[in-house]
Structure 1
Amino acid sequence: MDFRISAQQREMIASVRDLAQTEFKPRAMRWMDGTFPWENMQKLAAIGVLGMSVPEEYGGLGLPILDTALILEEIAKVDYVTAMAVMGEAGVQTRVIARYAPASIRERILPRVVSGDCMLAICMTEPHAGTDVANYRTNARIAGDRVILKGTKTLISRAPEAGMFVVFTRVDGKPGREGIGCVLLEPGTPGFAVTGTYHTMGGENLHEIQFDDCELPLENLVIREDGFRKLLTAFNTQRCLNPAISLGLAEGAFDEAVTYVRDRTVFNRPIADFQGVRWKLADMFKDIEAGRGILYRACLTAAPFPDPFMAAAAKVFCNEMSVRVTSEAVQLHGGFGFTDEYPVSRLYRGARYGSIGGGATETLRDLIGRKIVGDLDPADGILGLGTF
């Protein structure tokens, strides 16, 4: 297995790293009050980053999932809010439009994603249903050549900024998982409203939105049947991109911690001279490298979507690893780590999101466990070798 990064990937990473370190890092605190980082997004659009998941025929780069993860990792090292905004353009919502929307919508929306003129928002969570997708109450009723959308979605990113909403919903009231489909809705549609805002500990705002009999053309019903399976298949991409942000946050906090313990002196010695501190750094480093290995391996299973078992394992490990590493980085900074003057407190707060969004780690642990119990071959043993 060859995990070496190609020359082309290194060049791409270097471009993003330079932009992130020189421009994003100094102003990262600016976005902590919920302000959307339009300035950063336009700079990323200029070098093609927002078109990572857009097919080349629509002006995008059509990059593999590993390349997308590498870029998100680099941005997350310095700026969680911008990394999350970029994931919105590179994640499920873009791939749903590229794979399932009619040509007329793809041609109109995807070039605007590439240019940074159209932010995308995915609408899944409802006030009473997060992981329990089969319990959705939002419904798209088909009425001739129109679709009437009614319901509420909550904890939605980028709602005031979005140029298109990718809404997973029940279709014609059909119960259970079999009734799940997907519609596309543009802001300004009569009956659509952003009705609430929640400020998060990570810095970004999340929103509640209402669909009050929004009337849409039938072509906007982009997934009508088998929507639950299609949703989960596409969502395995998110389960590689979410942990890429977790990995980047851990790396950023680790870098800050190493710099701090080299410079900070206690009892006339740098605190890096103390064995207990060096052991903390060693544990942080091995955690990061283990996360990198499992995540990159999961990304490389994509054809076109990652293996669900490996993606789940990567997400659980990287989400939890990131909280451990960023927490230790705060500890190594002492009292300064608890202040906003040092980046580690901001990175720690961002890390806490990973295990909640994109599939709770409890749910994914159960998925992994069921796969092991059901599919482990008594002769060949470990599942992982068969999924790569």
Structure 2
Amino acid sequence: MQFKLTEDQRTMVGTVRALTQDRFKGRALKYMDGSFPWENMKELAELGILGMAVPEEYGGLGLPVFDTALVLEEIAKGCYTTAMAVLGEVGTQTKIIASFAPESIKRRVLPKVCSGDLILAICMTEPHAGTDVANYRTNTEVRGDKLLLNGAKTLISRVDEAGMFIVFTRINKQPGRAGIGCVLIERDTPGFIVTGRHHTMGGENLASITFENCELPLENLILREDGFKKLLNAFNTQRCLNPSISLGLAEGAFEEAIHYARDRTAFGRPIGEFQGMRWKLAEMYRDIEVGRSMLYRACATANPFPDPYEAAIAKIYCNEMAIRVTSEAIQVHGGYGFTDEYPVSRFYRGARYGTLGGGTTETLKELVGKQLMTDFPDKDGFLAMGTF
């Protein structure tokens, strides 16, 4: 199976690659302190990249998940922090607004996302529950034409930069997953309090937020009770975009390893001429190509959201593959790979995030395993699955 890019896709990827390699890559180290890559985001906004997931009627490009994944993959080859910042604009939060929000919200929010004037964040994880959505305690009470939001969220990206937040919340204290919906809140809302910050090994800052009697207009209720299934469908987009960053990090580390193996000499010849090193590079390349095929196939299922099981297995593989490949790239570099001066150490630190965000690998393996036990056909096996 081959995925042939259109001329428009090739032009887009080539443009983003040139920008990433010429500018973003050289700036990557300075963002490791948790600062936000505003200058990179501005340049991407000018290209229309931040509006990839926004429908054309709101000023965006309205591109498929596949195109978005291609761009994130390319950005990640140069700067993990920038790739994660872009993910916040083209991922779940934007998809939720574009797919489910009232028209007034769409027209107020989406054009600003495209221009780079508004950063979005999503609030899911709670101090006592991450994957266990059924035990979320954050609650929104509907009071006539007003909403009252109370609760706490943690490990939230872009808190200091975001102007608006999509909050997964229980509605009217209805229990279980059936009670989960989401609301939109602006950061200057009274009762919105940042209670703690956490610097990550990848360079990003995460934060904790408390909502204390935050009063919101009724139109900010994006999804009511029984909205969790819709939210999960939108979240399947993230399960293609998160691994696209993992894939890009692996590719970026591999490119660095190839260059180093050609330039570094030992015992009078380039280290890439030793069989042990060549085999290591071959295995890294093999793993990357397997991941690319799995991810691109999952992206191709999006209509408008990716197949949950294809996305899950692509995410599991690419996340774990990126950790292996970036670690091996450090090994190729020897002691230099352990230093900040060489990009491979940053690629490795960024890759470690993939298995944690957007659904842990353990959660996704359980999801796929349950589906196999229930739906895998007894008679025709893989043939009946219709994969090809």
Question: Which band: TM-score by shorter chain?
Answer: over 0.9
Tell me the secondary structure at the aligned position of residue 150 of structure 2: strand
2:17 corresponds to 1:30 = no
* Match in the other structure for 1:209: 209
After TM superposition, the structure 1 = structure 2 runs for residues 162-201 of structure 1, keeping only pairs within 5 Å, are: 162-201=162-201
Structure 2 equivalent of residue 46 of structure 1 = 46
Q: Distance in 2 between matches of 1:2 and 1:244?
A: 17
Count of aligned positions = 388
- The one-letter amino acid paired with 1:103 is E
Equivalent pair of 1:243/1:319 in contact (CA under 8 Å)? yes
Matches within 5 A, 1:93-112: 93-112=93-112
Q: C-alpha separation between the residues in 2 aligned to 1:384 and 1:349?
A: 40
Counting aligned pairs with the same residue, the percent is 68
Q: Distance in 2 between matches of 1:246 and 1:32?
A: 18
Q: Which residue of 1 aligns with 2:61?
A: 61
Decide which moves more: 180-189 or 375-384.
375-384
Query: Aligned ranges for residues 372-383 of structure 1 at < 5 Å?
Result: 372-382=372-382
Aligned twin of 1:250:
250
What corresponds to 2:337 in structure 1? 337
Judged with a 3 Å threshold, the aligned counterparts in structure 2 of structure 1 residues 384 and 131 are, in CA distance, closer, same or farther, namely farther
- Which amino acid in structure 2 is aligned with residue 36 of structure 1? F
**Residues of 2 paired with 1:218 and 1:59: CA distance?**
25
Partner of 1:129: 129
Equivalent residue, structure 2, for 1:115: 115
Q: Distance in 2 between matches of 1:6 and 1:290?
A: 22
Output one character per residue of 1:23-70: Cα deviation in whole Å (capped at 9) or x when no partner: 000110011000000110000000000000000000100100000000
The one-letter amino acid paired with 1:42 is: K
Q: TM-score, normalised by structure 2?
A: 0.99
- Following superposition, the deviation at residue 385 of structure 1 comes to 4.7
- Please list the CA deviations of residues 180-215 of structure 1 after superposition, one character each: whole Å capped at 9, or x if unmatched: 010000111000011111000000100001100000
Q: How does 1:307-322 map to 2 (within 5 A)?
A: 307-322=307-322
CA distance in 2, matches of 1:108, 1:177: 29
Could you say what secondary structure the match of 2:163 adopts? Answer: strand
Q: Name the CA distance, whole Å, in 2 between partners of 1:221 and 1:108.
A: 15
Q: CA deviation at 1:227?
A: 1.7
| Conserved? CA contact 2:174–2:225, under 8 Å | no
CA contact (8 A) 1:372 1:383 kept: no
Paired residue for 2:346? 346
- Give per-residue Cα distances to partners, 1:159-183, cap 9 Å, x unaligned: 1111110000001111100000100
Whole-Å separation in 2 of the counterparts to 1:300 and 1:114 = 24
Normalising by structure 1, we get a TM-score of 0.99
Contact 1:310 1:387 in 2 (8 A): no
Alignment partners' CA distance in 1, 2:380 and 2:215? 54
SS in 2 for 1:32: helix
Q: CA deviation at 1:376?
A: 1.0
Residue 140 of structure 1 contacts residue 173 of structure 1 at CA under 8 Å; is this kept in 2? yes
Read off the aligned partner of 2:257 and give its amino acid letter: A
Name the amino acid aligned to 1:176: G
Instruction: Please list every run of 5 or more consecutive structure 2 residues that lacks an aligned counterpart in the other structure.
Output: none
1:160 aligns with 2:160: yes
Whichever residue aligns with residue 144 of structure 1, its letter is: G
Residue 383 of structure 1 and its aligned partner are, at CA, apart by 7.2
Structure 1 gaps, min length 5: none
Deviation at 1:379, TM superposition (A): 2.5
Aligned twin of 2:305: 305
